[in-house]
Structure 1
């Protein structure tokens, strides 16, 4: 079903109330940012109805004036509808699951070596790593980002996948799928290299460095240019920052969670804050023009 741009409004206009109304009415929609405006996309079949609805209820329906059927008030968009609304988020998670399957979640070293930051070979009980420069000279540039697809165990991939689904959809809804992919690759590159630079050669992987990048991006962007998509519950931000501090303290490794890629987490968070700063300042400047 084709989508059309039903509304084009300045970034200063708060669409959160109207978006909540569409959610309550189960109208498929997404909001993107284009040329300094926020654009509301809906299926073509309901576009005229949505325009008329906005004329009546531009701030939404906080007083519940519309008498909707009970099922429309309680139901949320189904999983398939959410996948259609966030194709890039779903694509990255699908790649993660595929790599998890062919590497047996880190148990199959023969296939895992295709995705690690450094090429390696196993000699007896030892792992010998190929220098990064040699791998890049051989054209293996994908290694700079593919460690984000490697996970070690079901809990590892489940937790990272859950948080990427939560944060990735927010960025895709606000800035589009291409921007989400670009940010994901950038955060992966910086966090992987940070872990290699500070931790030395080793086997590391996971989406957690990317997740801290997405968190920092939403956090600072929302602080500078408030918008509903990036409005994270305060508890989420506090929990992830507390977890970062606990990992840095060494306590998490001490109680049996294994080695933590702390440099990747910090590197991802810092570059995410930087992109959030640039994006937020740009959005504020476009709004002021």
Structure 2
């Protein structure tokens, strides 16, 4: 891979602030003197275009990290700005909150039965589930996706919301709103289907399968085509994989935290790794 000259500036110009900002953003680069100019080199043309755009807006560095890597927290960055920069991520979280509250964490069966992967009716102490193909034949295709919006307790909602905010913003910045929407729906479909087929239960929910999909996507994409937006905080990947193994071991069930949708987690992760492999390979080929 040949390096590309992103900037050529006079020798007397101070680039220290801009270079410091690039280091903070983990953007690979180097600066050399060539024919009486300062030349800033980066690994590929796509990154060079991004760096040129940054320099036009922030020649002295500083606040540009807010725009480049929305996944990185900033103590002084306002909530309104974050919402403005990540509208689809915020919309998905808002829908998740509304659906969960309307369903009363799954206890309001009048609402919940419209959201679950398989329709059901409660009679007395028993729930009777409708064959899933009957629901699809009736045109209820939203059931393939809607379980990802349903959460059964506050801890479940808070943890999934936090991680979707962390990962969704990164992908929305790098791939755009349609890219994030497509990946969210794809991982929701595949993780929900995996959970239903492997566990046989129609009553499950949560963004966890989608989150493992987004994690796998960022992980593999970053290995093939490094980009600042997908540089995850240290330990996040290891922690999430360890948590997956703990859940698969059955320890969480034994501790009384409720059933875990392990098939959704594994299905989402595999789907995320596969799409990250495809997306990363295409990005690498374009470079």
TM-score (norm 1): 0.78
How far did 1:122 drift?
0.8
1:116 is matched with 116
Contact 2:18-2:58 within 8 A present in 1 as well:
no
How far did 1:171 drift?
0.4
Q: How does 1:78-117 map to 2 (within 5 A)?
A: 78-117=78-117
Structure 1 residue 156 corresponds to structure 2 residue 161: no
Contact 2:116-2:204 within 8 A present in 1 as well:
yes
How far did 1:175 drift?
0.7
How far did 1:143 drift?
0.2
RMSD: 2.9
How far did 1:110 drift?
1.2
Structure 1 residue 194 corresponds to structure 2 residue 199: no
Could you list the runs of 5+ residues in structure 1 that have no partner in the other structure? 1-9, 25-35, 42-46, 62-73
**Equivalent residues, number:** 245
3-state SS in 1 of match to 2:183: helix
Contact 2:199-2:263 within 8 A present in 1 as well:
yes
Q: How does 1:133-144 map to 2 (within 5 A)?
A: 133-144=133-144
1:178 is matched with 178
How far did 1:253 drift?
0.6
2:56 is matched with 51
Contact 1:247-1:260 within 8 A present in 2 as well:
yes
Could you list the runs of 5+ residues in structure 2 that have no partner in the other structure? 8-16, 25-44, 63-73
Measured in 1, the distance between the counterparts of 2:234 and 2:283 equals 22
Which whole-Å deviations, capped at 9, do the CAs of 1:218-252 have from their partners, x for residues lacking one? Answer: 00000111111101123100110000000000001
Contact 2:151-2:157 within 8 A present in 1 as well:
yes
3-state SS in 2 of match to 1:273: helix
How far did 1:86 drift?
0.3
Measured in 2, the distance between the counterparts of 1:87 and 1:11 equals 34
Measured in 2, the distance between the counterparts of 1:181 and 1:232 equals 20
1:251 is matched with 251
Contact 2:18-2:55 within 8 A present in 1 as well:
no
1:68 is matched with none
Structure 1 residue runs of 4+, over 3 Å off?
Answer: 10-15, 17-22, 36-41
Distance 1:52 1:144, change over 3 A: closer
2:32 is matched with none
Contact 2:120-2:129 within 8 A present in 1 as well:
yes
Structure 1 residue 233 corresponds to structure 2 residue 233: yes
TM-score (norm 2): 0.78
Distance 1:14 1:143, change over 3 A: farther
Contact 1:129-1:201 within 8 A present in 2 as well:
no
Contact 2:116-2:202 within 8 A present in 1 as well:
no
The structure whose Rg is larger is 2
How far did 1:125 drift?
1.2
